[in-house]
Amino acid sequence: METDRVSAGESADLEDEDFVVREMDVYFTPKPFDKDTKLYIAQYPLRPCWRPYELGEVCKEVRVRPESSEVEVDLEIDTESDNYDPEVSASLGLTEQTLCSSEAAADVAGYAVGVLRGGLVHLNHLDAVLQLRPSMAHLISGASRTTRQPLQEVETNGLAVPSVKGDDSESEPWISLTYEPAGSDVASRYYAEMMAIEGRPMDFTMSTKDYAMSLCPGGPTGSKHINRCEVLRGDAFTATGSALQEMVY
């Protein structure tokens, strides 16, 4: 009976042990696109994953400031919705909703966008992590439209692009982009560029422990190091000279 108990205990230990179920090669692309194209992670804190904005259906215009990593998205308001109040909306002149970005991570050096394809993991350099929330510009200085600050207009390709951010003329101008939904030909082309075609072997001079620590810095209790192993949830976007492409990953 004692032998049986020992065997059962050993069996439980084996069941609790972690096993390697799959090994995959990892490719790193420091800068997959040209210098004028940025790769962003866009998060929507006020919308759960089961209730997205459906940008492919309601997006009217996208504006970006590439140097400061700022994004604005104009969405068409559903006037047939039960949540739409025509009286209030008419008094404020609301015909669209604008999503404005805020910086979600000050330092993105420890983050990357990963693409899993054919048993390979492709890691791509990330330019910014943004959170998009509805703008409350129409409520500034009261509800009266006459007290609102005039919208800034920036000449982009011969067109005046309005902005809810009334910065001075010396600030970075907004660039108007065309939204391309995930799965479109343009988005698919950029998605393909995020996967390395070929790579060269790297001289691996680090120990296994040092390599693991470089990926997820941390330490024992009382250590000044903080574990930074995190997973970011959101949509991946590329912003280039004329279009904003959405890619699902």
| Domain spans in the chain, listed from the N-terminal domain onward | 22-198+230-247
Q: Are 14 and 107 in contact (CB under 8 A)?
A: no
The pTM is what?
0.65
Q: Is the dihedral of CA 57, 59, 60, 62 positive or negative?
A: negative
Q: Which of 92, 55, 46, 97 is nearest to 76 (CA)?
A: 97
The answer to whether the CB of 27 falls within 8 A of the CB of 121 is yes
pLDDT at 11: 57
Which residues are CB-neighbours of 101 under 8 A, at least 6 positions away?
Answer: 42, 69, 70, 71, 72, 130, 131, 132
Beta-carbon contacts of residue 165 (< 8 Å; ≥ 6 apart): 70, 72, 100, 152, 174
Q: In the prediction, which pLDDT does 216 show?
A: 64
**How far, CA to CA in Å, does 201 sit from each of 25, 27, 52, 120, 204?**
11, 10, 41, 15, 9
179 touches 99 (CB < 8 A): no
Chunked mean pLDDT (size 10), the chain, 249 residues: 51 68 84 82 91 89 92 89 77 82 85 87 89 85 43 43 48 90 88 77 76 62 45 64 57
Quote the strand ranges of the chain, DSSP E: 25-29, 38-43, 59-65, 70-76, 96-103, 112-117, 120-125, 128-134, 152-156, 159-163, 175-180, 235-239, 243-247
Over its C-alpha atoms, the chain yields an Rg (Å, rounded) of 24
